[in-house]
A and B are shown apart, each in its own frame.
Chain A
């Protein structure tokens, strides 16, 4: 291209200057008697010449750079588009479409690195032909991926063509085979520093021609821009998720306040109903002697029975409201000497509202007489204990689900050991346990291994540690083995030894 451009520029120069000099000379030789006309023509042409030359040069350049300009325009458009799109799915589709439209290839497929970094997953596929299928995922240690990481340049599988600048990119037959699985001829890496965040696989050009150096640099620019845009989109998605979790945490707090007001209101209705039923029963009892015929006695008995059922239902409704109120956190009652066994008992009781007994056997290994009191906030310690029991039940359900075996018996042992001036409370379950890589993150806010949709805001242990260590000056320790169980150990100061 460069040589041809030079030749055409030189051609334009010769054409213009042969006109500027040639025409006056021709006139002077043809009409020797004319003295002034050739001079005037020369002056005129010398003035116009450079403009004509510039015009011709621009025309030639336009012809040669048409393709490149088109790419530039497409890239400007593409970068604007990529900056705007925050949805990762839409972004990948957009990248594929840009490539297909601008370079006119048969198809374009985008793969992006999975969250755990094990494989590259199919992000988007756009094809001019119908019914072309592509692999769903490529392992991160495949030949193609390794080659892309090594060269950081497009990897081409194409007919060898003398003079084709892309020929030196030809690669081993293993990679050719891999590319063939995508019906592809070109793999383009999307790099951020040394990390391959994704790659494009492109089909052959519609024209049947080989990829030119311009095509390759176009792909490289698109791929690099894509890498940044993909990172942005993924970050945005993550941010949205954590915002949702924050919102949920706030919502839970609001629900707590609401549950408190609501349960108070419902309780008052129940109270009034119970009062009215009791009053009517009392009247019946006082006026029993008036029911002196068998029919009247029947009526009296029916009323008596109905009112008793009504009272019974009020009592049961009251028990449900009581359970609900335990979830509503209200008021800070301050710190006082608490009986750990009583708090543990109530936490176990609360857990029974949620967890069926057959799903978990809670073994209480503590002797109320041997446990010293602890200076603490009753409601918060109750929340801590309840959450630890709840976590244990989740862990055991997970172990059961992952093939715990018919011999598996979910069991949570709660024990309390006084030592020196402290009390150690231990929750030992035989649930799924914690993976080694997750252990350092256990107390990090919003870290959860539980599927978000079902449960788990990732705040449980974070709040527990805050309550135990910041509010009570205690300590919480975790000892866990995956597929074996978890042991949470809390140390609190005995009353009279606060600090």
Chain B
């Protein structure tokens, strides 16, 4: 079973991500903040990480930077509500493989996720 990590500070997003992906045969773990995300990624192997850009504490970009510093080469797709050109450029240079805009249509997310973990 493919395994993904959803990092988002919104409780509803975490909860519904878990149930949604499980129904689709994807094991989704969740993290509420950057520190928890880094801890989980270090412990486990994920096929994909969905990483929210703007969060309390560490931002998504900071998490990504920290992962690269620790030489962790997990596939990361950024999720952001702002069309922040600087952030998307930095994420790209840090090797994130995609950038999804919030609010997203779940069908789109599904196809994106399924294509990356295939």
Contact = CB atoms under 8 A, between A and B. Distances in A.
Chain B associates with chain A: yes
Interface of A: 263-264, 267-268, 270-279, 281-283, 286, 311, 314-315, 317-318, 321-322, 325, 330-331, 333-334, 336, 378-379
Interface residues of B, number: 26
B102 to A, nearest CB: 4
B54 interface: yes
Contacts of B107: 278
A283 B23 contact: yes
Interface of B: 10, 12-13, 16-17, 19-20, 23-24, 54, 81-86, 89, 101-107, 109-110
A311 B105 contact: yes
A268 B105 CA distance: 13
A283 to B, nearest CB: 7
Contacts of A325: 81-83
Contacts of B12: 272, 275-276
Contacts of B109: 278
Contact of A334 (B13, B17, B86, B104): B86
A274 B106 contact: yes
30 contacts: A267-B81, A268-B10, A268-B13, A270-B102, A270-B103, A271-B81, A271-B104, A272-B12, A272-B16, A274-B104, A275-B12, A275-B13, A275-B20, A275-B104, A275-B106, A276-B16, A278-B105, A278-B106, A278-B109, A279-B16, A279-B20, A281-B106, A282-B20, A311-B106, A314-B103, A315-B103, A321-B81, A325-B81, A325-B82, A331-B86
A325 B105 CA distance: 20
B13 A282 contact: no
A317 B103 contact: yes
Given A275-B13, A276-B12, A315 B85 contact: no
A271 B13 contact: yes
Contacts of B106: 274-275, 277-279, 281-282, 311
A286 B54 CA distance: 32
A442 B13 CA distance: 51
Contacts of B82: 264, 325, 330
Nearest to A274: B103
Contacts of A276: 12, 16
A274 B104 CA distance: 7
Contacts of A331: 84, 86
Contacts of A317: 103
Contact of A286 (B13, B17, B23): B23
A272 B10 contact: yes
A216 B98 CA distance: 87
